Structure 1
């Protein structure tokens, strides 16, 4: 069997780029995909945690490389993808997971935080797509998995800009899906997940509201399993959208 045929079978090892891999959903996804035998290229800003994660996974037999990554910098994202391609020969999947969530009411006028969310949550996803799309189209296969949120399905107070960015991720994902016949495009919308994202909230009202909101939360590995499920489908099956939320959550 030729090499090109082997990585088309769902049970075989795929080369996966993963952004925002240093904690939360990204870290859990790296752990699960590595355990399933996929080859990983992980990136994030916190290199100490990236290196520690990579070492842990390699000690368990995983094939993992890491690189410092700022998804708001298009050239950096391109270099990250190129690094993955140089290491493993090609790219099968990119998981655009990096995201920030500094919630606040609009009248708090935290414009810098709005811009940060737009840069990471929207531009970061677009940069990821731009870094892999030409090669994936050329090779005739590939998968783009974008992490949105239930905030991309409905809006809540203090989350207007955050929700706007996550609506954008869904729009971009669906647009890409419609524009290609060769690539699979998946958007995953997590409900409330235990993570460090809430720690980035500087607005007191929003932070307190998030604490009560998070009284019902699932662990990040629930989202990792959704990612693994989407990857594991045959090439002619595109899991377009998955919503994963706590059973007890009203949201």
Structure 2
């Protein structure tokens, strides 16, 4: 039996994608689980899977935009399991389309779910952490938490805000060595979110690059819970390269990544305008995978691939040069 058996983890957005993969990964490590999302049916199905792995599970449906409901999730966790050891803020929605063409209520709602939802998680969890003298807050941001992207501005703003929120809370608990705050930065991940998001672009959406398995992100989240000494954890080699390029040659990276999104994120197939699951849960997406890795993802056309490869190489060379110059200056 794992020595983590007594630890309790709350996961928001647990019904699909990274949240669902994380629940299963924590179950395998012997954690007690509190699963929250909007859809009870999807949570009940996930809870059954986790219990088959030996985990104790509490299903606590809630909408993260409701601060009182999120606080109640924390209270139920402590009442059920005696402590609240890890809180994973993960619930997210997305809207695709130019900023000025995205309906005002949709843009607002993405921020409300992704950023205010995390804030409500902080308000719910951190007081319990302070009372106990320990706890780990894990905020799932994105590579887009540091790198901008066109046609999903609300999502990018929320993910950059999440990084800032993490940093501020980390400062506020710095006098309590038992409390840690970790930010996870995934890149393109194979989850249902690309099909369930709002879309006013007129085109069908896919991940901007070859997506990686959501289980890799889940593994990083579990490692943060067990060894929470790292402030930020990037998931995926492409993510780490992109973040390094953003830091070293931000202007060039912004231009290249913008073109990448234009050429790879949007398929040459029409799509009707939809609010997706931004306001109400969709019947789709109650799974870890979005089906992109095996047969769904389409690379750009050959001219697009050649342009992107050349631009990526130029960005890598420029980043390496910038790093070399920086090291030379530091050495003098």
TM-score by length of 1: 0.89
Q: Is the 8 A contact 2:187 2:238 kept in 1?
A: no
Asked if residue 69 in structure 1 is aligned to residue 58 in structure 2, the reply is no
Shift of 1:238: 2.1
Q: 1:213 aligns with which of 208, 233, 238?
A: 208
Shift of 1:109: 3.5
Q: 1:245 aligns with which of 236, 248, 254?
A: 236
Q: Is the 8 A contact 1:230 1:239 kept in 2?
A: yes
**SS of the counterpart of 1:198?**
helix
Q: Distance in 1 between matches of 2:79 and 2:46?
A: 21
Q: Is the 8 A contact 2:23 2:33 kept in 1?
A: yes
Q: For 1:209-240, what per-residue CA distance to the aligned partner results, in whole angstroms no more than 9, with x for missing partners?
A: x42614x001110110001111111xxx5221
Q: Is the 8 A contact 1:72 1:120 kept in 2?
A: yes
Q: Is the 8 A contact 2:4 2:29 kept in 1?
A: no
Asked if residue 156 in structure 1 is aligned to residue 152 in structure 2, the reply is no
Q: Distance in 1 between matches of 2:62 and 2:146?
A: 28
Consecutive unaligned residues of structure 2, counting only runs of 5 or more, are 243-256, 258-332
Q: Partner of 1:40 in structure 2?
A: 33
Consecutive unaligned residues of structure 1, counting only runs of 5 or more, are 1-9
**SS of the counterpart of 1:17?**
strand
Work out the number of aligned pairs and report it.
Answer: 236
Q: Distance in 2 between matches of 1:245 and 1:153?
A: 15
Structure 1 runs of 4+ with >3 Å offset? 246-251
Shift of 1:204: 3.2
Q: Partner of 1:4 in structure 2?
A: none
Q: Distance in 2 between matches of 1:12 and 1:26?
A: 19
Q: Distance in 1 between matches of 2:125 and 2:206?
A: 37
Q: Is the 8 A contact 1:218 1:246 kept in 2?
A: no
Q: Distance in 1 between matches of 2:238 and 2:150?
A: 23
Q: Distance in 1 between matches of 2:73 and 2:141?
A: 21
Cα RMSD for the two superposed structures: 1.8
Q: Distance in 1 between matches of 2:12 and 2:41?
A: 15
Shift of 1:247: 4.4
Q: Partner of 1:203 in structure 2?
A: 200
Q: Distance in 2 between matches of 1:171 and 1:212?
A: 25
Q: Distance in 2 between matches of 1:134 and 1:211?
A: 39
Shift of 1:144: 0.5
Q: Distance in 2 between matches of 1:12 and 1:109?
A: 45
Shift of 1:59: 2.2
Q: Is the 8 A contact 2:96 2:152 kept in 1?
A: yes
Q: Is the 8 A contact 1:102 1:198 kept in 2?
A: no
Q: Is the 8 A contact 1:18 1:94 kept in 2?
A: yes
Q: Is the 8 A contact 2:15 2:36 kept in 1?
A: yes
Q: Distance in 1 between matches of 2:154 and 2:74?
A: 28
Q: Is the 8 A contact 2:95 2:154 kept in 1?
A: no
TM-score by length of 2: 0.68
Is the radius of gyration larger for structure 1 or structure 2? 2
Alignment of 1:1-251 (within 5 A): 11-13=3-5, 14-181=7-174, 182=176, 183-199=179-195, 200-205=197-202, 207-208=203-204, 210-211=205-206, 213-214=208-209, 216-233=210-227, 238-245=229-236, 247=238
**SS of the counterpart of 2:96?**
coil
